[in-house]
Structure 1
Amino acid sequence: MIRLYDYLPSGNGYKVRLLLTQLAIPFERIELNITKGETRTPEFLQRFPNGRIPAVELDDGKLLFESNAIILYFAEGTPFLPADRFQRTQVFQWLFFEQYSHEPYIASVRYLMMHPDVQDPRRAILETLMRPRGYDALGVMEGHLKSREWLVGEHYSVADVALYAYTHVADEGGFDLADYPAIRWWLGRVKSQARHIPITQS
C-alpha cells in the first residue's frame, strides 16, 4: 500500500491526502510532527533529502517528495489533469504560482500564527512583507476566478486542489476573505466535490 508521510495541519500534506481520497486510492498515513524535527532525522533524510512532508513511498518502493510533484503523479491519466497540452500547461502555471507566490506567504503566515512559540526570523517581516504578498496572491486568484468556476478550463483539477489547500484556511493566518467573493464561491465549489474531506481528517 502507498505510504503517505504527513503532518495533519499541513496544507501541503492535505493536498495529497485530499487527492488520494477523491481518486479512491487507498493509502497508509504516517504522522510526523514537523515542530519536533521528526522529518529531520538521518533515517528520514536518507530517503527524502528535502526533509519535509508530504513524502510518499509507492507500492514498488519508489519515493516521491514535494507536494505538487506528488499530486501531478497521481493525477496523471485522470480527469484531475487535462489531456489538452495548453490546459495542462495552465495547470502547471497555477502549481508554480502556488509554490512561489501563494504558499510562501499565506501558508507561512498561518504557520507562524499557529505556533507563536516557534522562533523564526520571518516574524520580523510578517506584517510588512509576508502578509501583503499573501493578499497580492489572493488578488491574482480573485481576478481570475471572477469570470470562471475553476482555475483551468471547465473542470475541477489539481490546480484547484493545490490552491484550495491553504486558501481555505487562510483565516487561520489572519487573512480576511470578506473582499474576495469569487474566491469564497470557488472554495464552496471545491468543498462540494465528491469524496471531499476536511484538512483535519486523517
Structure 2
Amino acid sequence: MKVYGDSQSGNCYKVQLTCALLDIKHQWQPINILKGENSTPSFLNKSKSGKIPLLELDDGRCLIESNAIINYLAHGSSLLPTDPFLLAQVQQWQFFEQYSHEPYIAVARFIEKYLGLPDNRRKEYLSKQDGGYKALTVMERQLESTQYLIGDHLSTADISLFAYTHVANEGGFDLTSFPAINAWLARVKQQDGFISMENVN
C-alpha cells in the first residue's frame, strides 16, 4: 500500500504512527501542499477533494480522511475495540478532534509553522487560542480519570488526538498547566513501535 502525505502534517502523522505501532509496511509518497502537488490531475484522480493523507491499497482503491484511514488500518488490532459502545467512544473522540480540537490547534500551528505567522493572518491566529485551550481542558478532565481517552488501553482515539496535541506549542499553546495531558503524551511515546514526527519518512 502507499500513503501520500506531508510528514509534518498532524493528520498525515496519524497514519504514519498507526503504521509504526502496528508494523504495517507501506510506501511513503511525499506531497507538498504549498506547491500544489495535491491539486494535480493525477492526484485529484485519487482524491477528488485533493485532501491528504491518502491511502492507496494494492488493488487501487483509495481512502482519505485521516481518522477513517487509521480505523481501517487498525481493524482487527488492539487499537480499535470491537465492543460497539467502546468503538462509538473512539469515534466520539475522533469527531471531537475534527470539530473541537483541530480547527483551533491545527490551524494555529499551520499559520505559525507553515506560513511563518504573517501579519495578515495574526488576527485569525489569535482567535484560535481560546477554542484550542477549551479543547485541551476537555481532554485534561478525561485524562485525570483514565490512562487513555477511553480507558486503560491505547486506541486510535489517542492517536487522533496525540497528533496535534503533542505539537500544540508550535501553534502557541502552552501545555505546562495540563499535567494529565503531559502524562498521557509520555505514555503514548513509550508504546512499542512509537515513532516521532521528526523521524517519520
Instruction: Name whichever of 49-58 and 110-119 sits farther off.
Output: 110-119
Residue 199 of structure 1 corresponds to which residue in structure 2? 197
> How far apart in 2 are the matches of 1:3 and 1:170?
28
Say if 1:26 and 1:120 are closer, same or farther in 2 by CA, change over 3 A.
farther
Q: Secondary structure at the match of 1:64?
A: strand
Q: Secondary structure at the match of 2:29?
A: strand
TM-score by length of 1: 0.95
Instruction: Name whichever of 73-82 and 114-123 sits farther off.
Output: 114-123
Residue 30 of structure 2 corresponds to which residue in structure 1? 31
Match runs of 1:66-77 below 5 Å: 66-77=65-76
Residue 129 of structure 2 corresponds to which residue in structure 1? 131
Question: CA offset at residue 125 of structure 1?
Answer: 2.5
For the aligned residue pairs, the C-alpha RMSD in angstroms reads 1.5
Question: CA offset at residue 119 of structure 1?
Answer: 7.0
Question: CA offset at residue 36 of structure 1?
Answer: 0.9
The C-alpha deviation readout for 1:125-145, integer Å capped at 9, x for no partner, is 221x31110111001000110
2:173 is the alignment partner of 1:175: yes
Number of residue pairs aligned between Structure 1 and Structure 2: 200
The C-alpha deviation readout for 1:97-117, integer Å capped at 9, x for no partner, is 001111111011001001335
Q: Secondary structure at the match of 2:20?
A: helix
Q: Secondary structure at the match of 2:160?
A: helix
The C-alpha deviation readout for 1:158-186, integer Å capped at 9, x for no partner, is 00011000000001111100110000000
Say if 1:120 and 1:19 are closer, same or farther in 2 by CA, change over 3 A.
farther
- Gap runs ≥5 in structure 2: none
> How far apart in 1 are the matches of 2:115 and 2:62?
33
The C-alpha deviation readout for 1:30-84, integer Å capped at 9, x for no partner, is 0011111110112211210121210010111110001000001111111001111
> How far apart in 1 are the matches of 2:61 and 2:15?
16
Say if 1:3 and 1:118 are closer, same or farther in 2 by CA, change over 3 A.
farther
Q: Secondary structure at the match of 2:81?
A: coil
- Gap runs ≥5 in structure 1: none
AA aligned to 1:179 is S
Q: Secondary structure at the match of 1:5?
A: strand
Q: Secondary structure at the match of 1:184?
A: helix
Residue 58 of structure 1 corresponds to which residue in structure 2? 57
2:15 is the alignment partner of 1:45: no
Residue 141 of structure 1 corresponds to which residue in structure 2? 139
TM-score by length of 2: 0.95
AA aligned to 2:53 is P
> How far apart in 1 are the matches of 2:50 and 2:117?
18
